[in-house]
Structure 1
Amino acid sequence: MTIEWRYTVERDLGILSVSGYLGPDAVHRFTGAVGWALARGTGPVIVDLTGLRGWSAEGQLAVTEAARRLAAAGRSLELAAIPADGSLVPGGDCPLIPVHADLAGALAAHSTRHGEPPQGRHEWRPTGRPTGDQQRD
């Protein structure tokens, strides 16, 4: 099993939506998605796990490693809708990872409305084709 992901930028806020199962076989794909987010934004990244069916210990470690990578770049990672099968317990050296009940709560914390008009919004999927008001290379 693996994951599917979509990355959306709304103003200075990145939203990395992940679905599927974040297990050992999907860690590399998740790490690549985080790298994509690092290259295409400047603000916090909310990892929306609404569509995630579950995650393994390796998947949880990949999330904490993503928080470290983002922090090293001066950005933060936040989680929305963590799977019911376990909470994330980062190590003591991990940056703070805010956890929101759902994506709407995470966006409200940043005063951004999901589904806003396309102006200032861009979306990428693994095919690399953006959607929104501007095309990017």
Structure 2
Amino acid sequence: MTIEWRYTVEDDFGVLSVAGHLGPAAVRRFEGAVGWVVARGTGPVILDLTGLRGWSTEGRLAITETARRLAGTGRSLELAAIPADGSLVPPGDCPDLPVHGDLATALAAHARHKSPPDEAQQAWRTDGWPT
């Protein structure tokens, strides 16, 4: 089983939404999505897990590795709507991972710092992401 993803660039942050099951078979695709995020955005990244049906140990490790990778580029990772079937307990050397109950809460946390948009929003997605 694999995942589908969509990345949207907001004014001063990005939102990476993931749907499916983040298990061993999906980790490479997730890492590819993160590469897309690193290459095409700036500022913090909200990882929207609303559409995630579950995750494995490998999937959770991929998320903590993403936090490290983004920190290496001067960016941070925030989580929104972690799956109910488990919690993410990052290792001690992992950057801080703020967790929001849902995407709306995560977006609201950034809205107070957001300036009015001056150009159209950019978005990329896998072919399987619903339009």
Partners of 2:126 and 2:109 in 1: CA distance: 27
Partners of 1:80 and 1:50 in 2: CA distance: 7
Deviations 1:81-110 (A, max 9, x none): 000000100000000000000000001111
CA, structure 1 residues 87+118, in 2 after alignment: closer, same or farther (shift >3 Å)? farther
- % identical aligned pairs: 73
Flag structure 1 segments of 5+ consecutive residues without an equivalent: 128-137
1:126 Cα offset (Å): 2.9
Partner of 2:75: 75
Q: Is the 8 A contact 2:44 2:78 kept in 1?
A: yes
Q: Is the 8 A contact 2:44 2:75 kept in 1?
A: yes
- Count of residues in Structure 1 that have an aligned counterpart in Structure 2: 124
For 1:52-91, what aligned pairs fall within 5 Å after superposition? 52-91=52-91
Are 2:98 and 1:98 aligned? Answer: yes
Flag structure 2 segments of 5+ consecutive residues without an equivalent: none
Please give the root-mean-square deviation of Cα atoms over the aligned residues, in Å.
1.7
Give the alignment's TM-score, normalised by structure 2. 0.90
Runs of 4+ off more than 2 Å: 116-120
Q: Relative contact order (C-alpha < 8 Å, sep 6+): which is higher? A: 2
